[in-house]
A and B are shown apart, each in its own frame.
Chain A
Amino acid sequence: MPERHFLNDNYGIRSWLLTKDHKRIAILYLFSITFFFLIGGFFASLIRLHLLTPNGELFEADTYNKLFTMHGVNMVFFFLIPSVPAVLGNFLVPIMVGTKDLAFPKINLLSWYLYIAGGTFSMAAMISGGVDSGWTFYAPLSSGYLKTHVIMLAVGVIIAGFSSIFTGLNFIVTVHRMRAPGMTWGRLPLFVWSNYAASLIMILGTPVIAITLILLALERGFHIGIFDPKLGGDPVLFQHMFWFYSHPAVYIMILPGMGVISEIVPCFSRKRIFGYSFVAFSSIAIAVFGFVVWAHHMFVAGISVYSALVFSLLSYAVAIPSAVKVFNWTATMYKGSILMSTPMLYAMAFIGLFTIGGLTGLFLAALGLDIHIHDTYFVIAHFHYVMVGGMVTAYLGGLHFWWPKITGKMYPEAPAKLAALITFIGFNLTFFPQFILGYMGMPRRYWAYPPEFQVLNVLSSAGASVLAVGFLLPLLYFAWSLKYGEIAGDNPWQATGLEWETSSPPPTHNFHHIPIVTKDPYAYGEDAEVTVVH
């Protein structure tokens, strides 16, 4: 390990809380999003525990509403959206494009403080009695009827939104203006491409959720009429404005995860990525299509049949760039010399689970079928396959892949593989029965259900406890590896990419000399190392 690196360059709490180093800010994010993940996971466990019995013996109906609201808000706004961009993206984007830091380091630090401020508001709403609007805040329920702290939670979400806007802004400017000499757009790692695409959604979508929630808070606080039909407002307008952000937001959540997979698959197949430019531009295509499909959340909300037809068709179109990625990852693995290490296990789990999640999304985009399975557990299973089976899996895979780079230490391979396996089994046991439950008609967000659904619910709850073990194991061995892990060396995977050219952990300014890039990324199996001029 190098004598001096970003972790020991400076000591003391101030050197962390006032740091402008993108790598340290990534670590701050790592700790904070883990915290919110555990809180969100805690609520999920309570939900699954409650659903063990059909008549809901554990919680009151109102409490149950608060549980799924706080689970959703914590996971969506405080874990999934920042997860890969704010932790791995913050750490890697500047290194991957070959520069010393993001374009605006102070704004990067500000974004972390905004995240913490938003999280504080959300925690305060939680502690002072919880909120039971669902993470979707539908008006007029949230603006006129509920007696809980909706405004406090909305303020938390708005503030956290600005944190994600600033992250996106920083990424976009860095990718445009700070690339190392020779780092052309065609040589950008796919992880950078997908974070760039996600950043486009962050800067264009997030302001709209901010203004929507501001209007909601005004209606709730001052009883002015915007969304409440009693006051002349239109509740469907709220849904349009909410989903204009919140649908593209699911691509903020999944795109960076796809970027992680695009890095892991070529590395452990020892092959160049298949169809680089298709994978790169499919990220942009997903970001663009993502903005024109939002009303598929509203097929039964009373929108016109013709607009529903158009939105249904456009939703199918999203499947094209997504499938391009899946096929290209598979084609990359074809005839590769595949090494089944932990990151690769997660990547392969991602490909399978994301495919199931994506294909069931097409069921939901079909107008007729959606009327049957709308607001059922089928929807829950669908988006958990994408969000947990996809994004969380990719996040864990990426964390294992770059852990040696971030800390300079290797995690222990055997328990890591075991954890990946447990996660995979636990995940499918939790969420596959929910597809069947939903298809049989069990509605989401109900605190009780008919007794004939119990077997599948018990299976799902059992799976959740397995899944919890799978998620907690990495916490243990990652912590263990900090002290006892083997020294990783600069490039333990023999991977290509600028981040593997510098030492592990990297020095504060990332490179001892700014690199000059002469080759394409993913030049596996060729003598094509990136040249560093001294």
Chain B
Amino acid sequence: MRTEKMRRSPLSTSQTTTTEHHPALAHQFDSMEQQQEASTFGMWVFLLTEIMMFGGLFTAYLIYRLKYYPAFVAGSTSISVSWGFANTLVLIGSSFTMAMAVWAAQKGYRKSQVWFLIGTMVLGTAFLGVKAKEYYDKWDECHIPGIGNQVIGKPFNAWGGCSIKDTSLGNIAEEIRDPNKHGNPNIPEVAAEQTAKRTEIFFSFYFAMTGLHAFHMVIGLGLLAWLLLRAKSGEFGPSYYTPIELGGLYWHFVDIVWIFLFPLLYLISRHQHGV
């Protein structure tokens, strides 16, 4: 319906469209409607490329999850669901304030769009803060894959707590088979050792996926800051709110990525406790 309205009728000339000239209308467009349609469509196309980018990562994750399922369970049970859940709430909350900011812009409520944008930024920053805390915990537990044994000197330890525990894989393998620690004694020793080793792959994906997501959050916060400045100067109102709407689209997309990341990384086989 909307497309029909914006397409110029074959009988009209370019003159008819130049009459109502909005200051935000870029020279290559004929009307504000065309500009908004094109910009929104462009943002959706861009989000499609983002889906493909995360899609490659998710595919690789799924393949290794199938290949090394017990290791992925062991890795997953070692990360904190409560912090992950808290962050999920924070991010959903930020999507709500973002949606409200767009609504306020459409209605022309200048003050509330500014406050909703600030609210979104605060929640976004809170998310990154929690993420940083979780990363620090991983560092503390020696769950940083790869880097430890190469550069910094904290070796990766599948079962965590390298400061107290012996890092030899034999120890971890024992724990995987220890029924007192939710282990399974039926797993052969060799397999248990392999599983212990493979938790490193789980953490590789944990960091690659949450890291790429956090990187998108940082970009999102930058966009929000820019929108905030423009909203403060009163640029957005009922006749022009495209940038804030597109910022919202991007923010919701980053939110949705997390909605997939949370169960995939935090909630593998929670009910089983080890395999």
Q: Which residue of B lies closest to A179 (CB)?
A: B7
Once the chains are docked, how many angstroms separate the CA of A204 from the CA of B26? 28
Query: A224-B204, A232-B68, A241-B60 in contact; A102/B37 too (CB < 8 A)?
Result: no
Residues 485-526 (chain A) with a chain B CB within 8 angstroms: 509, 513-514, 516, 518
Query: Which residue, A101, A205, A211, has most C-beta atoms of chain B within 10 A?
Result: A211
Interchain CA distance A207-B45 in the complex, whole Å: 12
When the two chains form their complex, are residues A176 and B41 in contact, meaning their CB atoms are under 8 A apart? Answer: yes
Which residue on chain A has the smallest CB distance to residue B151? A222
Given A177-B37, A218-B204, CB of A169 within 8 Å of CB of B45: yes
Contact between A212 and B56, CB atoms less than 8 A apart? yes
Whether B49 and A232, one on each chain, are in contact in the complex, defined by CB atoms closer than 8 angstroms, is no
In the bound complex, how far is the Cα of B13 from the Cα of A182, in angstroms? Answer: 12
By a CB distance below 8 angstroms, the chain A residues around B9 are 181
Interface of chain B: mostly helix, strand, loop or mixed? helix
Whether B146 contacts A222 by the Cβ 8 Å rule is yes
B118-138: contact bitstring with A at CB < 8 Å (1 yes, 0 no)? Answer: 000000000000000000000
Check if A83 is an interface residue, CB within 8 A of chain B. Answer: no
Q: Given A101-B28, A105-B28, are A222 and B41 also a contact pair (CB < 8 Å)? A: no
Query: Is A178 located at the chain interface by the 8 A CB criterion?
Result: yes
Q: Look across to chain B and name the residue whose beta carbon is closest to the beta carbon of A94.
A: B28
B238: Cβ under 8 A from any A Cβ: no
- Chain B, residues 42-61, CB within 8 Å of chain A (1/0): the string is 10011011101111110110
Most buried by B among A177, A244, A518: A177
With a cutoff of 8 Å between Cβ atoms, the chain A residues found around residue B54 in the complex are: 211
**Are the CB atoms of A234 and B53 closer together than 8 Å?**
no
Knowing A181-B12, A207-B49, A516-B10, the reply to whether A169 touches B146 (Cβ < 8 A) is: no
List, in ascending order, chain B residues with CB within 8 A of A223's CB.
146-147, 149-150
Contacts of A181 in B (CB 8 A): 7-10, 12
Shortest Cβ distance from residue A21 to the other chain B in the assembled complex, whole angstroms? 10
B225 within 8 A of A: no
- Assembled-state Cα–Cα distance A4/B26 (Å): 22
Give B58-98 interface residues, CB cut-off 8 Å to A: 59-60, 63-64, 67-68
**Interface of chain A: mostly helix, strand, loop or mixed:** helix
Cross-chain contact A224 with B145 (CB below 8 angstroms) = yes
**B24: A residues at CB distance < 8 A:** none
Instruction: Give min CB distance, A508 to chain B, whole Å.
Output: 10
What's the Cα separation between A533 and B38 when bound, in Å? 25
Name the B residues within 8 Å of A222 (CB-CB): 145-147, 150-151
Does B200 interact with chain A (Cβ within 8 Å)? Answer: yes
Contact pick for A206, options B37, B49, B207, CB 8 Å: B49
> What residues of chain A lie closer than 8 Å to B259, measured between beta carbons?
none
- Taking the complex as formed, is A233 at the interface, i.e. its CB lies under 8 A from any CB of chain B? yes
Given contacts A207-B56, A208-B55, A215-B60, contact A172 B45 (CB under 8 A): yes
Give B58's nearest chain A residue, CB to CB.
A211
- In contact, A177 and B34 (Cβ under 8 angstroms): yes
Please report the C-alpha to C-alpha distance between residue A518 and residue B14 in the assembled complex, in whole angstroms: 16
With A218-B208, A225-B201, A516-B10 known as contacts, the answer to whether A241 contacts B45 (CB < 8 A) is: no
Taken together as a complex, chains A and B put the C-alpha atoms of A165 and B51 apart, in Å, by 13
Q: Check: A99 CB closer than 8 A to any chain B CB.
A: yes
Assess whether B198 is interfacial by the CB under 8 Å rule: yes
**A103, A203, A518 — which one has the most chain B CB atoms within 10 A of its CB?**
A103
Q: Is B197 an interface residue (CB 8 A)?
A: yes
Q: Mark A223-243, 1 if CB is under 8 A from B, else 0.
A: 111100001111001000100
* A173 contacts B42, C-beta separation under 8 Å: yes
Task: Choose among A208, A224, A231, A237 the residue that contacts B53 (Cβ–Cβ < 8 A).
Answer: A208
Q: Indicate whether A439 reaches chain B with its CB closer than 8 angstroms.
A: no
The reply to whether the CB of A104 lies closer than 8 angstroms to some CB of chain B is yes
B5 interface residue (CB < 8 Å to A):
no
One digit per residue, 1 when the CB lies within 8 angstroms of any chain A CB and 0 when it does not, for chain B 7-24 equals 111101110000000000
The residue in A206, A210, A231 that gathers the most chain B C-beta atoms within 10 A of its C-beta is: A231
Query: Cβ of B63: which chain A residues have Cβ within 8 Å of it?
Result: 234, 237
B13 nearest CB neighbor, chain A only? A533
- Chain B residues positioned under 8 Å from A409 (CB to CB): none
Interface digits, A89-117 against B, CB 8 Å rule (1 contact, 0 not)?
00000000001111111000000000000
Q: Interface readout for A157-190 with B: 1 if CB under 8 Å, 0 if not?
A: 0000000010001101100111001100000000
Cα distance A207–B49 when bound, in Å?
Answer: 6
User: B residues within 8 A CB of A203?
Assistant: 45, 48-49, 52
Select A215's contact among B147, B198, B208, beta carbons within 8 Å: B208
How many whole Å from B48's CB to the nearest CB in chain A? 6
Please give, as numbers and ranges, the residues of chain A lying within 8 Å of B271 by CB-CB distance. Answer: none
Q: Among the listed A176, A204, A513, which residue makes an inter-chain contact with B52, where contact means beta carbons less than 8 Å apart?
A: A204
Note all chain B residues with C-beta closer than 8 A to A102: 28
Most A CB within 10 A of own CB, among B42, B50, B59, B68: B42
Binary per-residue interface labels of chain B (222-266) against chain A in the complex, 1 for a CB within 8 Å, 0 otherwise: 000000000000000000000000000000000000000000000
Q: A105-B28, A181-B9, A237-B63 are in contact. Are A215 and B57 (CB under 8 A)?
A: yes
Give CA–CA (A233, B68) in the complex, Å: 10
Residues of A within 8 A of B198 (CB): 232
From the candidates A99, A204, A215, A533, name the one contacting B28 in the complex (CB within 8 A).
A99
A427 CA to B42 CA in the complex, in Å?
Answer: 41
Residue of A nearest to B9 (CB): A181
* CB-defined contacts of B59 to chain A, threshold 8 Å: 241
Give A14 to B116 CA distance when docked, in angstroms.
39
Contacts of A169 in B (CB 8 A): 42, 45-46, 49
In the complex, chain A residues whose CB is within 8 Å of the CB of B42: 103-104, 169-170, 173
* The one of B14, B146, B212 that contacts A513, using a Cβ cutoff of 8 Å: B14
- Nearest neighbor of A202 in chain B, beta-carbon distance: B49
Q: How far is the CA of A225 from the CA of B68 in the complex (A)?
A: 13
Determine whether the beta carbon of B60 is less than 8 Å from that of A178. no
Most interface-central of A105, A203, A232, A514 (chain B CB within 10 A): A232
CA distance A210 to B27 in the complex (A): 33
In order of increasing CB-CB distance, the 5 nearest A-B pairs are: A207-B53, A224-B146, A101-B28, A224-B204, A223-B146
What are 13 residue pairs bridging A and B, where the CB atoms are less than 8 Å apart in the complex? A103-B28, A104-B42, A165-B49, A177-B34, A178-B38, A207-B55, A211-B53, A214-B208, A223-B149, A224-B204, A225-B200, A232-B200, A514-B13
Q: Which residues of A contact B (CB under 8 A)?
A: 99-105, 165, 169-170, 172-173, 176-178, 181-182, 203-208, 210-212, 214-215, 218-219, 222-226, 231-234, 237, 241, 244, 509, 513-514, 516, 518, 533
A sample of 15 more A-B contacts (CB under 8 A), given A207-B55, A214-B212, is A100-B27, A177-B41, A178-B29, A204-B49, A204-B52, A207-B53, A208-B55, A224-B146, A226-B60, A226-B201, A232-B200, A234-B63, A237-B60, A241-B56, A516-B13
